[in-house]
């Protein structure tokens, strides 16, 4: 059975995400970690973990952003997705998808503090993934990249930065 993008959007009750694409939070731990037990980069207590569905279709992108926690991306359905990462070592890309022989994986880890975004390889497709964050995600920890700052730091990635920023 071939499932359409609209099927997932409707059934999973997805809504717009500030970084681009669609999402819905599906899990937030009931317990939390006190601020004193967390690294200094956190401004308050955080839940143990959170999880969302995240969805891209067509030419939608996840714009470059970073968070203060590690984030694990899980592939569920659709076509191959490229995760783009920028850090002090430069550019790195990982692929999420079911084509393991072509270098894709079902999971990928984005370390805390790394600038990252995502895009589809096929413009006429979609990808449904999950994102698990620990300590749990809080929008206070979310930072969208400023185009000019990234261009100054990574000029060799100009084309990609222009595509994944506003």
Query: Domains plus CATH for the chain?
Result: 5-33+44-163 (2.60.120.10)
Name which of 14, 1, 25 is nearest 127 in CA terms. 14
- The residue written with tokens 């967390």 in the block is 38
Question: What is residue 162's three-state secondary structure?
Answer: helix
The dihedrals phi and psi of 31, each to the nearest 5 degrees, come to: -100, 160
Cα–Cα dist 76/107, whole Å: 10
Q: How many CB atoms lie within 10 A of CB 144?
A: 16
Cα–Cα dist 75/129, whole Å: 5
Task: Give pLDDT tens digits for 101-160.
Answer: 999 999 999 999 999 999 998 889 999 999 999 999 999 999 999 999 999 999 999 999
Task: Give pLDDT tens digits for 7-49.
Answer: 999 999 999 999 999 999 999 999 999 999 999 999 999 999 9
């Amino acid at each position: 059975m071939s499932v359409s993008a609209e099927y997932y959007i409707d059934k999973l009750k997805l809504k717009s995400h500030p970084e681009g694409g669609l999402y819905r939070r599906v899990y937030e731990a009931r317990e939390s970690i006190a601020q004193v037990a967390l690294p200094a980069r956190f401004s308050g207590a955080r839940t143990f973990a959170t999880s969302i569905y995240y969805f891209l279709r067509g030419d939608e992108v996840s714009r470059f952003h970073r968070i203060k926690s590690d984030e694990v991306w899980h592939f569920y359905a659709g076509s191959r997705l490229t995760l783009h990462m920028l850090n002090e070592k430069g550019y790195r890309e990982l692929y999420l998808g079911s084509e393991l022989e072509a270098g894709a994986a079902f999971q990928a880890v984005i370390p805390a503090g790394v600038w990252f975004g995502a895009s589809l390889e096929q413009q006429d497709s979609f990808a449904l993934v999950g994102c698990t964050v620990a300590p749990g995600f809080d929008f206070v920890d979310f930072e969208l990249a400023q185009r000019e700052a990234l261009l100054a730091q990574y000029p060799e990635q100009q084309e990609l930065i222009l595509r994944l920023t506003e």
